Each structure stands twice: as structure tokens, then as C-alpha cells.
A and B are shown apart, each in its own frame.
Chain A
Amino acid sequence: MQSKKEQEKLGREKLQRIIETCRSIEGRSLDPFLIDINENIGTVKKYFPEWKIPEDLCLDAETIHRLASIIKLQSEWVQHRSTSLYTDPFLLEDKLRRIEKIEMIKTFVKAWRPIIELEQISVHSLAEALRYWESLLPIEERWKEIAPTEVGLGVASREQLVNERILGDKAFSEELENFWQGLKNQVIEKGGEAKILYWDFIGAETYEETVYRAFMTSFLVTYGYATLEVHPLEEEMFIVPYEKPTEKTATKQLVSIPIAVSREDWQKWKKGELN
């Protein structure tokens, strides 16, 4: 005799199979009478007393919904068969596959009444166009405002680019390594557990600096220098530095965690109201 768990598992599989069959019939416009509604309703009924958790009840509802869609398709199918447009689809498809190109065209033009339409200029549109032309300013006047100023070519030094904030003053990898070192030092200074609250690490005197630190932290995590520890119930988030950068392998599903660093949050953190 099957255990209750096995019975539930089998039931779930059967419902999934019914849903998939219904989906493929809907998606591929197959004959909706391929599915035996009574038998499937019987299956749904049989397993219904087994369902206790919401996920199973949702699966049950989804199955009923799909079967209802098939019943609707069956009704449309019957309606279509009773109209004058109905012909055996297989016969028609077979004809379409076998018919010669020129024969198809000869047949089609007998049933085709193409629309007549003219795209031609009229006296009225000519008059409109002339009025527009008269009121149009000469091109030199219209383009005067947006004429670009001439800029001479020159050479910029690395210092100038750094000053202009086009380049950083350090290579990014070097900057990231220093940032990681900073994180490890802060964790050691704090003592206790080898982790630090996210906001305590990224929080800085100015909002701009805080955003910059959050930006760098995201790279620390992405490149395997540190990891995030999230405690959803306590609404706490820690950053844990690794001793050595780790190489992420695809053995585990990687997740992205979006973290908003808003000005309001930063102000709350400054007042000590944020974790």
C-alpha cells in the first residue's frame, strides 16, 4: 500500500501532467477533444481530499482552470464545425502542402479583391506645402543657434583626466584590494564576530561617499572578496570579508540582492536609527 506522502506526490504529478496537456492543446491549436474531460475531472476529485497546503490547493485550482479552458475550446470547435467555413483541417493542410506555387496563385486571385488606394499629391496639399515653404526660415538662420563652436585639439595629461574625474587616481583592481583591506581592518577593530553591519561599513560622513562605498562593496561581493549575510526576520544585513578572494563556481544558484541606498536611509543611519 502506498504511503500518504507517495500518494500526494503521485497526485501532484498527475495534476501537473493534466496542466501540461491542456497547455499544449491551447498553444498548438490541437483538437480539444483529444483530452478526456470526465476522466481528468475524476483524477482531480480523487486527489482533492489529500491537499492541505496552499501550494497543492493552487495546483488543484490551476488544473480546474485549464480544464475549463479546454471545455471552452471544445465549445468553439463545435461552433466552428457547424459554420459554412468548416472544412476538414487535415485535408486542407494536405492540399496546401501539395499544391504548386502557380496553382496556388491562380486559386488565390479568384478569391482576392485587393483594396484600391492612391498615394498622390493633390492641389490642396500642394497649396499647403507652398504655404509652409513661404513661412520656412532660411537654413542658415535656423541652424545658427546650434552651430557647434570650434574646439582645438590638444593633449591631456593623466593628472588632468583624474582632476576632471574621467579617470580614477588608482587602477580599479588596486582600489578594490585597498577597499577589501579596509573592510578586514574594520572587522578586526570591531572584534567579536568576523562580520560587520552593512550600513556600519558603507555609511560615511557624506551621502556621496556612502554611495561610493556601497558601489565598491557590491564589487567586493561580486568578485568574491566578501559575502553578504542577510537575516530577514531581524531585518539585519552583515558583510563578511573572506581571508582570500574566493572563486565562485556554478555549483550553487547565485542570487542578486538589490539594496537601496537612499538619502533618507543614510540620514537615519547617521541618527543611529538604522541597522
Chain B
Amino acid sequence: MSKRKAAYASKIKRATHMLFYKRHAKPGVKGWELRKTLGSDYPKVLKILDDYLKGLDLQVKTVFEEEVQTEKPTSDQLDKARFFIALRGELTPKEAKMIGWRVDDLAGLAIAIGYIISKKGKAPRKDVEELLREKLPGWKVGLNVDRYIRYGYITEDENEQLYLDWRTRAEVDQKALIDLLLRTEA
């Protein structure tokens, strides 16, 4: 193995450790942390790792600080971005249950996200709770919304308005969700 290849192999291992293991309260690693450990060519390391993960149905996902994803990010934007390992393909509802989500809770999350998107990214908490109450037991609704906030899917401001948070931006393809929802025959 050439010296260059060996160096990259070692960097890929380190990147894997950093990305797979939870280091902070929030999952994922900031770009500047990766640069510090792997060097300035970390985007290239991540690209190789991403290609390697394809076969395992996983991917390296980037979430930028700004809500709009950038086509050609600058090094500053990359440094501030958060990198994760996420699933590449789809889960089946059965698999979703296996990773710790109850059917009710997941449906509630989907409804909450869908409703906030329909309201242009901002909706009063009481409206979201009212919608959830149609299908979930009343006592559970508030607890579920708090849980979605705690996990980082949604966030709440001081006026009790709900917004989509970093985890929704990282995990949910909003455009695909809306298209799929509109295509369903309810």
C-alpha cells in the first residue's frame, strides 16, 4: 500500500470513529472538529467514506447552519456544518419500531412535521396539539410534543410557536414527504 493510501485509510478509520460514536449531547461532528483531527482535506476523506458506506445502505450527511443547502459550500460553511452518518435507503414501518419508535409516536412526529411544513415552517403549538389529539390520547399529546422538541425534530419559541429543528433538516427529505403525502389517497 502506498504511503498516500495508508494515510487516507487511517483518516477514514478516524472519521468513522468520530462520526459513528456520539461525542456530544447532539449527534454528529462539526466540520471544524473534523478539520482539526483529519486535516484540511477532510471533505475528501468524507467523500471516500461515503462511497464506502453506499454498500451498507448508509451515507455521510451534511447539515449546514443555514436552512438552504448549498451547492458548492465554502470552507467556512463546511466548518460550521454538522456531519452525520444516516441511513441511505428506506426503513420499513416494522424496522422503525425496532429502532425504538412506537407506531403512535412516529405517526405523531410525521403529522407534526407535515403540519409545520404546511404552515410555512411555523405553527402555534396549540394547533399542532389539537391536530394530534384527533388520533392520539389527549394525555400523551403534550408529552409527545415535548419529546420531539427534546430529540431536536422541532423547536419552540417563547410565543409557543413550533418550528422545524436541526434533526428534521438532517433526517427528513421535506420535499419528498410533501409529495408523498399529497399522492396518498386518504
Contacts and interface: CB of A to CB of B under 8 A. Distances in A.
Interface of A: 27-29, 76-77, 80, 84-85, 87, 89, 91-93, 95-120, 122
Interface of B: 20-22, 27-28, 58-59, 61, 84-88, 90-93, 95-96, 99, 103-104, 106-107, 109-111, 113-115, 117-120, 122-124, 127, 131, 134-135, 159, 161, 167, 170-178, 180-182, 184, 186
Nearest to A90: B118
Nearest to A80: B120
Given A29-B119, A112-B171, A96 B114 contact: yes
Nearest to B127: A28
A85 B117 contact: yes
Contacts of B110: 104-105, 107-108
Given A85-B174, A113-B86, 9 more contacts: A28-B124, A92-B118, A106-B93, A111-B173, A114-B87, A114-B171, A115-B171, A116-B58, A117-B20
Q: What are the 3 tightest A-B residue pairs by CB atom distance, in nearest-first order? A: A108-B110, A111-B177, A98-B186
Contacts of A96: 111, 114-115, 118, 131, 181
Contact of B85 (A28, A116, A119): A116
Contacts of B95: 109
B176 A99 contact: no
15 contacts: A27-B159, A28-B124, A29-B123, A29-B124, A85-B178, A95-B182, A97-B134, A99-B181, A101-B103, A104-B111, A108-B177, A111-B177, A114-B87, A117-B21, A117-B85
Nearest to B28: A115
B111 to A, nearest CB: 6
Contact of B107 (A85, A97, A104): A104
A110 B90 CA distance: 5
Contacts of A100: 186
Nearest to B91: A109
A107 B167 contact: no
A77 B119 CA distance: 10
A120 B21 contact: yes
Contacts of A27: 124, 159, 161
A10 B176 CA distance: 51
B117 A107 contact: no
A87 B182 contact: yes
Contacts of A122: 21
Contacts of B115: 93, 96
